[in-house]
Chains A and B, each alone.
Chain A
Amino acid sequence: MRFRSRLVLFLIAVLAIVQALTALSVYGFTRRALIAEGKEQLAKSATVFVRQLASVSEHATERVRILALDYALRVAIAERDRQTVLSALRNHGRRAGAARMMLVELDGTIAADTLEQMASAQSFAHSDLLERSTEGSAAIIAANGAAAYLLVAVPVLAPVPIAFIVAYMPLDDALLAQLQELSSLPNAIELAVANGTGGWSVIAASSKYPSLVGEVPRLGTEPPGEADLVEAAGREFLMLTTRLETTDQRTPMVAVLGYPLDEALSPYRPVLLALAGLLALGLVGAIMGAVLIARGVSRPVEILARQVRRIEAGDYTASTPLRQRDEIGELSSAFSTMARAVADREARIQHQARHDPVTGLLNRQSIEALIAARCAARPGEAGALLSLGLERLHEVIKTVGHDLGDNLLKDAAQRLHLSVDTSLIARVSDISLALWLPGADEATAIATAARLIDQFQEPYQEAGLAIDAAAAIGIALYPTHGTAVGALLQHADVALYAALGSEDSISVYNPLADPHRPERLSLMSDLRDALERDELFLAYQPKLALATSRIDGAEALVRWQHVKRGLVPPDSFINLAEQTGNIRRLTRWAIASGVAQAARWADRGLALRVSVNLSVRDLGDPELPRRIGDLMAEHTLAPDAIALEVTESALMGEPDTAIAVLRRLADQGIDLAIDDFGVGQSSFAYLRRLPVRELKIDKAFILKLAQSPEDRTIVRSIVELGHRLGYRVTAEGVEDQAALDFLTQIGCDHAQGFLLARPLAPEAFDHFLTTARWPARDLEAAT
């Protein structure tokens, strides 16, 4: 539950409880007071009622007494004139309001009765009444079934009592009404007589109220002396029962006086209504007040909560603290201060995360993100990523230290800012900066790059040093060279390295020349698998001995039948193997395979020397000569069944260990050939130091031999010089008969090329031997 609701609820509850208790206590107090008052009033009323009844009886007695003094009546009585007496009694009875009149003799015999025409000579039932009336007069209540009477007996004095006149005064509703009119009696009065079953029967009642007689304690129970609270017909009454004196104790009579509480309470109803109104008013006021207070308390808290949620979400924009002087205000301003502190710190961290600490430029991650965002925001727009590197930076760092290197980079960044209007400059590596040119095509990018290079004409000056950093720029174009910023950056770097190595200080990325294409990596792991799965095989290109016109050898060339890629070009995977250090395994496999093939041919009586290519890295392997020796011995092959070829460039500048390996191989009787001879920079002077037995002229000189007199001269010179120095000479790339004829003419030892055959698989090679116009040299001929 929200605070506001809780507060409102609490206030309402408290108010309601207080009000309800007040109302209840007021009601209870009023009610108790009313009950007390009612009891008192009832007690008084009971006394009054009894007194009034007595008074009624006195009046009745008086009336009857006056009647009894009527002389004529007395004469009639004395003279026993019954008819006169009866008519007089009727007459006087009407006067007195009596329901029945009787003349009773002194001995109790009824002499005349207005209800009976004939004298019945019965005895008057209430002799005690007569007894008492001789001393004056007597009145008593007599109940007779459903009716009650006040019996008044008066002696007829003449002047001494000679008889009694008895009058029956009815106790009925009319009498009660009369009594109520006369005095302040309570409205609810009933007269009840005990009935045969112990209960009470109503004789007279003020009809306005429900009968309370049912609540009167049954006969035999002493009625309480005090008023009782009873309920009749859903209404509450105070009830007081007063026993009336009657003629007969067996048929007791009671007066039941009721005090209707609801009527008594009715004057207080407006008070209660007013209280209820006050309660309602108070509740409304309380709710409004509570809402206002709660708002006063909870709104700042809610604002505070929103403030905190914003901070939580990372929005530190200074939320104005609440202008309150209470705890919440303090808290709010504390939150604001905290948010500002957090914002500052986060800005600092963010800046550190996005910027290079040395140059203050963006770092690689952030420029990547910014470029990506920019490209995403403007699809279709081209762009160029320039990678600027300082060629001498490594040197500078090595000689002067990192501080100067950093300063050099900072200076470079400033120079970039001077000439290019872009904020997207970042330091992407130790030695390079990257620069994003939005919307630039290749020409614009190159022009901008040229302008930038110009900025670096002035050497950097520091501490008396003038450093020409020699800037170079690699350019990768978006989206031509990639859509992923990372790839773009990499490509720009590739271009940068190309530029750093070349005369031109600006280079645009060339995907074809990129030696770092990603598929090479996968090829590498495939190569390892291929070695194990025998996907590699050796193709053999025949070598023709021109002097004998016989095939006496073959160059073994590694071929890779990739399961998915098909035949993989040898250049790509061999270079890769060289760079990744897998070349030794490859060579080991090639030598083993070549030796095995040579042994098979030897077994069939063919004297075919198998040449296997060595990589320069193989020469670093001191185990190589021993391993080859072991293989030869294993297949009982003569050393001249195998030759090893090494490219000219590979041998250049190799350490003595490599030369030592070569010498040991030569010592084992294995011939060494220099491959691709003529295009490298090797000199004969150098070659002289090597145990080389054969030169293979690069095909560049052979392919156009027929057309090019220069090539013919060069080839002729090489052959002559080679022979003079004791080398055998082989021409590669022989593709036409003219070249073959020329080579034969100048005395070249061997020819190799498509004219003879392409490199062939062993089976195809065997087929070639049977069909070619040149027979293979056999072992007899060789020996």
Chain B
Amino acid sequence: MRGLRQGIIGLACLVLAAAPLAAADLVVQVTDADGRPVADAVVTLAPEGVAAAGTPMPRRNEVDQRNETFVPYVQIVPRGGEVAFKNSDLTRHHVYSFSPARAFEFVLAPGQQSDPVRFERAGVVAIGCNIHDRMVAYLYVADAPWATLTDAEGRAVLSGVPEASYAMRAWHPRARPGRPEPSQKVTVGSGANQATVSLALLREPSRQLDRDRARY
């Protein structure tokens, strides 16, 4: 049932995208307070007022655990999307989340893959491993129609965005916890649209210390 419905929505999106509507691309440059490009930042775009169908996002996602690292580090999951955790390491991993958006925990034996976890509530879900403290990954459960991650240059490209005004939000793991995401208004016109977002980030990720010290 659930798979069927998703398939329908996806189809609809495709149809919509194909429609000869006036649509444009939005390139968002995300920097930190010092102007340096910020990678792995989530940029979301939500139309003001009416809801609009955005770019369809994959509903089934996967988080692999390789070399005691969650891969990918940040992943956007559409609300209602599922994520399966896979253990590609030779050690066990005790995956957990205490995030209000979705709390869970389970142990994955080497080579084991978890049942997909479904995320019904929008928000950031911080995932950790209780065995390996420095393992962390973020699932951004997005409610917005458009959401994407910045590349290494801190550039996020949102394509096929209808010309209109939007509330643009940006999030990054190093954003201060407990603070609302900064939001700014963008108006997408025809042609190439540019926007910049400056994020106030913590200088050091908390676990960076441990990483630096540990020599194993």
Q: In this complex, what residue of A is CB-closest to B173?
A: A160
Given contacts A158-B126, A159-B126, A160-B136, contact A135 B178 (CB under 8 A): no
Roughly how many angstroms separate A135 CA and B200 CA in the complex, as a whole number?
A: 13
User: Complex Cα distance A159/B203, Å?
Assistant: 17
Docked-complex contact A160 and B126, CB < 8 angstroms: yes
* Size bin of chain B's contact surface: 20 to 34
B98 contact from A69, A135, A162, Cβ within 8 A: A162
Any chain A CB within 8 A of the CB of B130? yes
Q: Which of B133, B173, B176, B202 contacts A157 (CB 8 A)?
A: B133
- Chain B contact residues, majority secondary structure: loop
Question: Is B115 in the interface zone, CB < 8 Å from A?
Answer: no
Decide if B76 is an interface residue (CB 8 Å cutoff).
Answer: no
Which 8 residue pairs of A and B lie closest in terms of their CB atoms, listed nearest first?
A: A159-B128, A78-B98, A106-B178, A158-B98, A160-B126, A159-B136, A136-B209, A161-B177
Contact A136 B126 (CB under 8 A): no
Q: Please encode chain A, from 665 to 704, with 1 for each CB lying within 8 Å of some chain B CB and 0 for all others.
A: 0000000000000000000000000000000000000000
Shortest Cβ distance from residue A24 to the other chain B in the assembled complex, whole angstroms:
57
Q: A107-B178, A134-B176, A134-B177 are in contact. Are A158 and B128 (CB under 8 A)?
A: yes
**B108, chain A: closest CB distance, angstroms:** 16
In this assembly, does A550 line the interface, its C-beta being within 8 Å of a C-beta of chain B? Answer: no
- In the complex, are the beta carbons of A162 and B177 less than 8 A apart? yes
User: With the chains together, A136 CA to B136 CA distance in Å?
Assistant: 15
Interface residue? A584 (CB, 8 A): no
Question: In the docked arrangement, what's the CA distance between A78 and B125, Å?
Answer: 13
When distances are taken between beta carbons in the complex, the residues of chain A under 8 Å from B168 are none
Q: How far is the CB of A256 from chain B (nearest CB, A)?
A: 33
Question: Is B204 an interface position by the 8 A CB rule?
Answer: yes
Size class of the A contact interface (CB-based, 8 Å): 10 to 19
Alpha-carbon distance between A71 and B178 when the two chains are bound, in angstroms: 21
Residues of B within 8 A of A341 (CB): none
A161 to chain B, nearest CB (A): 5
Name A136's closest neighbour in chain B (CB-CB). Answer: B209
Instruction: Judge whether A74 is part of the interface by a CB distance below 8 angstroms.
Output: yes
- Decide if A75 is an interface residue (CB 8 Å cutoff): yes
Minimum C-beta distance from A78 to chain B (A): 4
In the assembled complex, the Cα of A530 lies from the Cα of B202 at a distance in Å of 160
B16 interface contact, C-beta 8 A: no
Residues of B within 8 A of A159 (CB): 126-129, 133, 135-136, 207
How far, in whole Å, are A154 and B207 apart by their CA atoms in the complex? 12
Answer whether A134 and B133 are a contact pair too, CB < 8 Å, given A106-B178, A162-B177: no
Q: Chain B residues with Cβ under 8 A from A78's Cβ?
A: 98, 103
| Least Cβ–Cβ distance between A335 and chain B, in angstroms | 103
Query: Which residues of the partner chain A approach B173 to less than 8 Å between Cβ atoms?
Result: 160
How many angstroms from the CA of A431 to the CA of B129 in the assembled complex? Answer: 164
Give bound CA distance, A399 to B130, whole Å.
Answer: 172
* Bitwise interface map of A from 154 to 172 toward B, beta carbon under 8 Å scored 1, else 0: 0101111110000000000
Which one of A74, A107, A160, A162 has the greatest number of beta carbons of chain B within 10 Å? A160
Distance (Å) between the CB of A251 and the closest chain B CB? 29
Query: 16 extra interchain contacts, Cβ-Cβ under 8 A, other than A134-B202, A158-B97?
Result: A71-B130, A106-B178, A134-B177, A136-B204, A157-B128, A157-B133, A158-B126, A159-B128, A159-B133, A159-B207, A160-B124, A160-B136, A160-B138, A160-B173, A160-B177, A161-B206
Contact: B126 with A69, CB < 8 Å?
Answer: no
| A135 in complex: contacting residue of B128, B130, B133, B204, CB < 8 Å | B204
A155 CA to B204 CA in the complex, in Å?
A: 14
Q: How far is the CA of A134 from the CA of B175 in the complex (A)?
A: 11
A107 / chain B contacts, CB cutoff of 8 Å: 178
